[in-house]
Amino acid sequence: MPAIPYYDWISHHAGRRPQRLAIDDLHTGRKLSYAALDARIGRLTAALAARGIAKGDRIALLAPNCAEYFELQFACGRLGAIMLPLNWRLTVPELNYILGDSNPKLLIHDKAFAEQAAAFSKDLIEIDHDWPDGAPDSAYERALAEAGPAPAPVPLTHDDIGMVMYTSGTTGHPKGAIITHGMVFWNCVNLGIPALITPETVQLVVLPLFHTGGLNCYANPVLHAGGTIVVLRNFDPGRALDCISDPSLGITHFFAVPAPYQFMMQHPKFAHADLSRLRIAGVGGAPCALAILETWIARGVPLVQGWGMTETSPAGTMLDAADAIRKLGSAGQAMMHTAIRVVDDEGHDVAAGGIGELLIKGPNITPGYWNNPEATARSLTDGWLHTGDAARLDEEGFVYIVDRWKDMYISGGENVYPAEVENVLFQLPAVADAAIIGVPDERWGEVGMAIVVRKPGQQLVEGDVIRHCLGRLAKFKVPHSVTFVDALPRNATGKVLKRDLRVQFVGQNAPAIS
């Protein structure tokens, strides 16, 4: 079968709808039409080529959310280079490992990260978004201004690598998931149709763009369709609600992991926010507590759930808006060009209603991990990706993500999935945030520990939590202890870092979990 050629959709829309707004960067105030974005990509392509960047070379980017993510993505596409988005929350040693593993020729960094960037022996280009006189001036902007004509695009196919995205590394060193141009394209196809993305779509982007959720849910599909993305530099619940309410922005689409929805609904502005223009509010990345889903439904916004991961580009399943209430809590069904299975430890399909590991296969799946054949071999079996998520399928084929397979703990021989217990904890009005981890117990092997954040001014003690759970859960699922904290540790996308909690409350020898 012949390889499918890669096409640049920014260039396409620059010819078809040149004055259509592509990116509205709220931090800088810069508004880029498709023609303007295409021109900047062309100048960046020329500037990179002049520095000797060629097909297969890696270019790293260390920056908060900004339009430059998309400029670099498509400039890499024109050169055949590979984009390497870096998690700016990582420490210098953590970043140093990633840069050593991927060996980029160039690091483009925001001025805010100049100190970190200086620690690496890499060729640097600095972005500066602090424009006191309104005129952008930085090494990045000068490179674009001084660039000559762009070279002809390098012919690529869907099998060529477009990015390498490093996973969180909770089980040791991070792994670089290979993202091909085909994976990004099939995600646009798979996600764009059920998410109702059209040229009229306007999405507020709040998740970090170094993460697949920020870059591909739904930013790239929106640009693929010729719509508009409105970019927030960093997530703030009040600012996000203001943007959604603002008729001049006309936000129609929003996507986040559960935590931002939780923080928004707890914000004083939520009760009076104008949510009427939202066509789709998507949620994924972690099991979403029913209390969050029900609160947004009460405001007339069913949260459309989905499931995916970096290695699936990321859309793997999605719940159609029409089923959002009927299948409350489900992550939906497999995307159109994707297949899923739920299997037991021996790899046999589990009957409807049974819990097993979710496997996924399709053109949106990574071919493997950068410079890591061992991890590739462990993760892929006959093209099926082992996701590490515990799930069940109902009789209609709708998938329910129970929890991370490795977050599960066994108490007295019974499997306990923390997400189920966390759902019950969120029913308590005084609970602002909560997580469950398994801790060692001489009698039962492991028991649950609830780690709870109280809402400001609320009174809640351990006995209140235990009594609440006893009336709603089987006894083996009820937490044996409750610890109150000021905040839960979260990664850049808002997922609770269960590994950090286990180290804090169990010790340094706590078993690693994803």
- Tens of pLDDT, residue by residue over 2-36, are 789 999 999 999 999 999 999 999 999 999 999 99
- The pLDDT tens digits for 176-226 are 999 999 999 999 999 999 999 999 999 999 999 999 999 999 999 999 999
Return the pLDDT at 390: 86
- The pLDDT tens digits for 49-93 are 999 999 999 999 999 999 999 999 999 999 999 999 998 988 888
Give 410's pLDDT tier (boundaries 50, 70, 90). Answer: confident
Which runs of consecutive H residues, i.e. helices, occur in 199-325? 212-214, 220-225, 237-245, 258-265, 290-298
Give 503's pLDDT tier (boundaries 50, 70, 90). Answer: confident
C-alpha–C-alpha distance, residues 68 and 90, integer Å = 20
Angle between helices 9-16 and 34-50 (to 10 degrees): 140
Return the pLDDT at 172: 60
Return the pLDDT at 511: 42
Answer left, alpha or beta for residue 239, where phi above 0 means left and psi between -120 and 50 means alpha: alpha
Candidate from 355-364, 381-390, 438-447 with smallest mean pLDDT: 438-447
The Cα-based distances of 456 to 453, 463, 469 in angstroms read: 9, 19, 22
Return the pLDDT at 20: 98
- Per the model's pLDDT, the better-predicted residue between 469 and 493 turns out to be 469
Rounded to the nearest integer, the mean pLDDT of the chain is 92
Count other C-beta atoms under 10 Å from residue 397's C-beta.
11
Secondary structure percentages of the chain, helix, strand, coil, to 5: 30, 25, 45
Return the pLDDT at 31: 97
User: Residues 436, 466: contact at Cβ < 8 Å?
Assistant: no
Give 168's pLDDT tier (boundaries 50, 70, 90). Answer: low
Task: Tell me the backbone φ, ψ of residue 74, rounded to 5 degrees.
Answer: -80, -25
C-alpha–C-alpha distance, residues 51 and 40, integer Å = 17
Residue among 360, 384, 4 at smallest CA distance from 180 = 4
Give 229's pLDDT tier (boundaries 50, 70, 90). Answer: very high
The answer to whether the Cα torsion of 191, 201, 178, 98 is positive or negative is negative
The greatest distance separating any two alpha carbons of the chain, rounded to the nearest whole angstrom, comes to: 72
- Per the model's pLDDT, the better-predicted residue between 253 and 498 turns out to be 253
Tokens of 371: 């410079």
Task: Tell me the backbone φ, ψ of residue 201, rounded to 5 degrees.
Answer: -65, 140
C-alpha–C-alpha distance, residues 292 and 259, integer Å = 9
Residue among 237, 239, 291, 279 at smallest CA distance from 427 = 291
C-alpha–C-alpha distance, residues 191 and 362, integer Å = 14
C-alpha–C-alpha distance, residues 88 and 187, integer Å = 25
- The pLDDT tens digits for 252-287 are 999 998 889 999 999 999 999 999 999 999 998 777
End-to-end CA, the chain: 37
C-alpha–C-alpha distance, residues 130 and 424, integer Å = 45
Half-sphere CA count of 363, side-chain side, radius 13 A:
16
Q: Is the peptide bond before 218 cis (omega within 30 degrees of 0)?
A: yes
Residue 488 has pLDDT above 70, yes or no: yes
The Cα-based distances of 470 to 193, 442, 449, 479, 483 in angstroms read: 43, 22, 14, 9, 17
C-alpha–C-alpha distance, residues 74 and 14, integer Å = 13
Residues 6+ apart with CB under 8 A from 423: 289, 290, 291
β 315-318/303-308 pair status: antiparallel
- Per the model's pLDDT, the better-predicted residue between 476 and 195 turns out to be 195
- Compute the average pLDDT of residues 365-377: 96
Residue 132 has pLDDT above 80, yes or no: no
C-alpha–C-alpha distance, residues 74 and 31, integer Å = 18
Cβ neighbourhood burial of 320 (10 Å; 0-12, 13-18, 19+): middle
Return the pLDDT at 320: 86
Residue type for position 58: R
Q: What is the pTM of this model?
A: 0.85
The helix (H) or strand (E) run that includes residue 385 is strand 384-393
CA 245 to chain CA mean position, Å: 24
C-alpha–C-alpha distance, residues 17 and 35, integer Å = 8
Residue 451 has pLDDT above 80, yes or no: yes
- The pLDDT tens digits for 92-103 are 888 999 999 999
The radius of gyration of the chain's CA atoms, rounded to the nearest angstrom, is 23
User: Residues 200, 227: contact at Cβ < 8 Å?
Assistant: yes
Give 387's pLDDT tier (boundaries 50, 70, 90). Answer: very high
Go through the chain and tell me how many residues it has: 514
Return the pLDDT at 325: 82
- What domains can be seen in the chain, in order of their start residue? 29-156 (3.40.50.980), 410-505 (3.30.300.30)
C-alpha–C-alpha distance, residues 300 and 294, integer Å = 10
The Cα-based distances of 404 to 53, 66, 286, 390, 444 in angstroms read: 40, 31, 8, 6, 21
Provide the total of helices (H) and of strands (E) in the chain, helices listed first: 16, 25
Tokens of 200: 């009229």
Cβ neighbourhood burial of 21 (10 Å; 0-12, 13-18, 19+): middle
Owner of token pair 């950068």? 370
